[in-house]
Structure 1
Amino acid sequence: MMKKIFPLSLLAALALSACAKDEPSPTAIRQNTHPVVSDLKYSYRVPATADGTIAVSELARLDSFVSEINPTFGDSVVITGGSQDSQIELERFFKARNLEVYRQTSSNSNITLLLSKAVVTVGNCGNWNEVEDPTNGQALPDNHGCANRNNLARMLAAPGDLRNGRTLSNTIAGPEILGLQKYRTGTLRTQEATSSNTTGEQ
């Protein structure tokens, strides 16, 4: 009887294939409890006077309306219609409240405002709709990092940044660089040294 001789590499491959399971590849965290950003829209009409300006009483009403909305950094307003002077006056009004202002021309003498406010809502942590199973394709469960994710979402100054980041702009890095240079050159005074000097002076 003739014996069949198989190469060692073939035997090793057969052994590994017998042990391997047909499992899905690892997936990302599921999105059930991730923060959701939505936009709230508010429309407001500002009547203009005969000379195209805005009455003081109308600015007071507008201030009360805006205060109820409580806009924050990153929210925006579109100013449509009215004279150029009234639009400039409203632009100053909203920029003083840290809103992004966009102006649009129109033949209408009255002014229409459209305020956009981004808000973030978060799901409740502790989602037990599915039993955690180690054979679910190695996907992280919904509860993984949920509290940390929700806390970070609430800390955002501009919730809209969760949707898409802002473009890079020029920043003043001088103070940070100066502090780093002092640390590297040993000229940075530590708090301990400062405290001892202050105590000695007294």
Structure 2
Amino acid sequence: MPLTFLAADPDSAGSRQDEALPHATQDQWRRPYRPGPWRVATAAIALLIAAYMLICAMIIVMAGSPTGAGVTLVAAALGIAFALRLLRVGIWVSPRGLRRVGLLRTQSLRWSEVARVSTMQQPVKWLGMPRSVQGQAVHVERRGGEALPPLLTDHNADFLSRPEAFERAADVLEAWAAEHR
């Protein structure tokens, strides 16, 4: 496994960091882009807090309070589950269709249900917060005409400060839609 962060020139150490993840099998769901630094940093902080909570649970058990340790252990497990789910959030594609994985729910569309995938200029939320800025968003139009919220924006946790990665991911999604419709 190449350690690109140790190389003076990251391009010479193997694949680029922004490239889509390679997969041997084409039938599996896969993300056409890498998770962004904001998403990975948030998950790492959640895992760090969960590790401290696990240590606290061990200390609480040694102090003689198993119920307090149990509550702390459950909270740590929820923190770990949150971090792992946060890393899975995003858009996934396969020959069967398009899947939007959210923090609490997942929505899948077959390619036959998709009329068009396009990129538009519009106000988008900055890191999912209420503040809106001018940016780009990838939209999916369903065959029935039902409007769906944007799939990706250039100001979300995966693409903030990585405009070339957003362009590449939008192009890949549009190509998948054109190929499999």
TM-score range, shorter chain: under 0.3
**TM-score (normalizing by structure 1):** 0.22
Higher strand share: 2
Structure with greater contact order relative to length (CA < 8 Å, sep ≥ 6): 1
TM norm structure 2: 0.23
Which of the two has greater helix per residue?
Answer: 2
